[in-house]
């Protein structure tokens, strides 16, 4: 079993310094990251330095977006090098909210992915279908297209440092979770797409599930053979809820070890 990777994608456009401070205080008292899982927190750009100063060493520091450009006249943009400079180790790319509301297409996602790779930032590429696309039986076609934009950039050397998150849009922030079987079906499809390029790479890359994941459904989702962790939104707003999800991943590990 691959080491599970748990990501809190927190606050979006609701953050503040005091929210981060309180979150961190609650998190460190119950920190699960030192156990057998990797844990990351992704925050809005502005709070990356504060996060990087206050995070325990085991907590991976992440941002929620990155510029597609390395440098140049792009007022307001934040480059991968800048993120690195202030302590980020990881970055979300192509979250569905960015694809839907900020005009990010597959070409832009690819360009951002390249920037992250060039700077040694761990990218989490997000993919997922809308409700309409699922109803039209287009789920696999959509995922295949989104993967096609980045697949040639993945190889056995960088796969351990890259993550893919399957986040069905209909499950994000809606309380509707994909069933464990639905998640596994798509994760397996993603793994097979990757394997058709490089079997070793496909085995090494961790595939996260995101979309209304919470303490009550985490164990079942993480038990699936191709679900290697979670990208958690709403249920990570309170550190104790996020920690409860991390605990489920550790519980799974304990179960596997005792077998």
Please tell me the number of Cα atoms within 13 Å of 179 on its side-chain side: 3
- 232 near ligand PGA, judged by CB under 6 A: yes
38, 210, 224, 246: which one binds ligand PGA (CB under 6 A): 210
- 102 near ligand PGA, judged by CB under 6 A: no
Catalytic residue among 97, 104, 129, 167: 167
Q: Are 86 and 119 in contact (CB under 8 A)?
A: no
- 248 near ligand PGA, judged by CB under 6 A: no
- 233 near ligand PGA, judged by CB under 6 A: yes
What span, in angstroms and rounded, lies between the C-alpha atoms of 84 and 104? 22
- 9 near ligand PGA, judged by CB under 6 A: yes
56: part of which helix (H) or strand (E)? none
- 211 near ligand PGA, judged by CB under 6 A: yes
Please tell me the number of Cα atoms within 13 Å of 181 on its side-chain side: 0
Rounded least distance, CB 210 to ligand PGA, Å: 4
Q: Taking Cα atoms as reference points, which of 194, 208, 170 lies closest to residue 93?
A: 208
What span, in angstroms and rounded, lies between the C-alpha atoms of 161 and 41? 16
Q: How many helices (H) and strands (E) does the chain have?
A: 11, 8
- 167 near ligand PGA, judged by CB under 6 A: yes
Q: Are 245 and 217 in contact (CB under 8 A)?
A: no
Binding mask 169-208 for ligand PGA (x = CB under 6 A): ---xx-----------------------------------
Rounded least distance, CB 85 to ligand PGA, Å: 25
135 annotated active-site: no
Residue nearest to ligand PGA (CB): 233
- 163 near ligand PGA, judged by CB under 6 A: no
Residue 101: phi and psi, rounded to 5, are -105, -5
Catalytic residue positions, numbered: 95, 167
Instruction: Tell me which residues touch ligand PGA (CB under 6 A).
Output: 9, 167, 172-173, 210-213, 231-235
């Amino acid at each position: 079993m691959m080491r599970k990777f748990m990501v809190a994608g927190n606050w979006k456009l609701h953050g503040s310094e005091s929210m981060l401070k309180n979150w961190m205080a609650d998190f460190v008292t119950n920190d699960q990251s030192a156990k057998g899982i990797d844990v990351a927190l992704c925050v809005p750009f502005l709070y990356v330095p504060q996060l990087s100063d206050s995070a325990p060493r085991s907590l991976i520091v992440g941002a929620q977006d990155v510029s597609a450009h390395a440098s140049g006249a792009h007022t307001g943009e934040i480059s991968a090098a800048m993120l690195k400079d202030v302590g980020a180790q990881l970055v979300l790319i192509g979250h569905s909210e960015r694809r839907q509301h900020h005009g990010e297409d597959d070409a832009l996602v690819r360009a951002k992915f390249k920037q992250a790779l060039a700077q040694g930032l761990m990218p989490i590429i997000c993919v997922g279908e809308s409700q309409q696309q699922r109803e039209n039986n287009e789920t696999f076609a959509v995922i295949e297209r989104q993967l096609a934009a980045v697949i040639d950039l993945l190889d056995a050397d960088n796969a351990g440092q890259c993550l893919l998150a399957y986040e069905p849009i209909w499950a994000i922030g809606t309380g509707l979770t994909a069933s464990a079987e639905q998640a596994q079906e798509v994760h397996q499809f993603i793994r097979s797409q990757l394997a058709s390029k490089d079997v070793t790479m496909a085995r090494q890359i961790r595939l996260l599930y995101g979309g209304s994941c919470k303490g009550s459904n985490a164990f079942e989702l993480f038990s699936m053979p191709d679900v290697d962790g979670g990208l958690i939104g709403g249920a990570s707003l309170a550190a104790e809820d996020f920690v409860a999800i991390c605990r489920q991943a550790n519980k799974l590990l304990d179960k596997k070890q005792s077998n």
